[in-house]
Amino acid sequence: MDIGGKVAVVTGAGAGIGAAIARSLARGGARVAVADLNGDAANGVAAEISAEIPGSAFAFAGDVSDERVITELVNRAEAEFGPVDLYFANAGVTGGPGLDSTEEQWAAALGVNVMAHVRAARVVVPRWLERDGGYFVSTASAAGLLTQLGSAPYAVSKHAAVGFAEWLSVTYGDRGIAVSCLCPMGVETALLRSGFGSGVEEAELASRSVTSSGAVLTPDDVAADVLAAIADERFLILPHPEVGDFFKHKATDYERWLRGMRGYQAALRSTE
């Protein structure tokens, strides 16, 4: 897909990966709805984009795990710019640690990291089928292909996000709807530094397991990979190419991979 002239919705766009994607889309000629739960953050990013490229962005504040809010967001984007061509389900939360995660933490992780994608698809896919095309981009994580030490809700919800993106692609890929799934490891965002690293032992383990396993990329690095993948209509987006190798090792020898992850976890704990 050529993003020039297209209309895009980006959730979780008040900072981090979402903000970088929104900026990159606008610079590529798209018009962008910058959505975030934090209205001030969304306003800041939209204002920055509009100052550089007038008329190319607007801000929207709301909880995009709520289907009524998603409908309002998409309707607003279509009223401002025209039919939505791309939807980036990028908003995410870390969830809690392990078996002691609360029901509320599980509900938040599943609601934002998975069901927000499902509910967004309910809104946009029927419209795209009527118009013969659209593009859905799901932000998951390397944790969705591998796992996440120190955070059961994050690991489980990101696996589910990958699974839903796969299902969308299989079900609608021959009907004009493209799907990509973004699975990075460490990215320099507040989610990595404060979402996991909160002073709680398991949270610290979760953060260090990511920062110790590979390079920590900038959001702009990730956004560049996302736009390249969209141009190729490529499903799996791996800003850290080594994730693909890890995934192959997991698939070819699950028992060895599990032993390796337990060993990696033990090594991280020994350095605490």
Q: Where are the domains of the chain?
A: 7-270
Q: Out of 135, 154, 172, 254, which one is annotated catalytic?
A: 154
Look up 172 and say whether it is catalytic: no
Query: Residue 199: is its pLDDT beyond 70?
Result: no
Query: Residue 198: is its pLDDT beyond 60?
Result: no
Q: Please give the Cα distance from 259 to 29 (Å, whole number).
A: 47
Q: What is the pTM of this model?
A: 0.94
pLDDT band at 190 (very low <50, low <70, confident <90, very high): confident
Q: Please give the Cα distance from 177 to 168 (Å, whole number).
A: 9
Query: Residue 1: is its pLDDT beyond 90?
Result: no
pLDDT band at 131 (very low <50, low <70, confident <90, very high): very high
Neighbours of 12 (CB within 10 A): 30
Which fold does the domain 7-270 belong to in CATH?
A: Rossmann fold (3.40.50)
pLDDT for res 253: 98
pLDDT band at 139 (very low <50, low <70, confident <90, very high): very high
Query: Please, what's the b/e burial string for 140-149 (b: 16 or more CB within 10 A of its CB; e: otherwise)?
Result: bbbbbbbbbb
Q: Please give the Cα distance from 134 to 151 (Å, whole number).
A: 33
* 69, 63 contact by CB (below 8 A): yes
The counts of H helices and E strands in the chain are 11, 7
pLDDT for res 217: 92
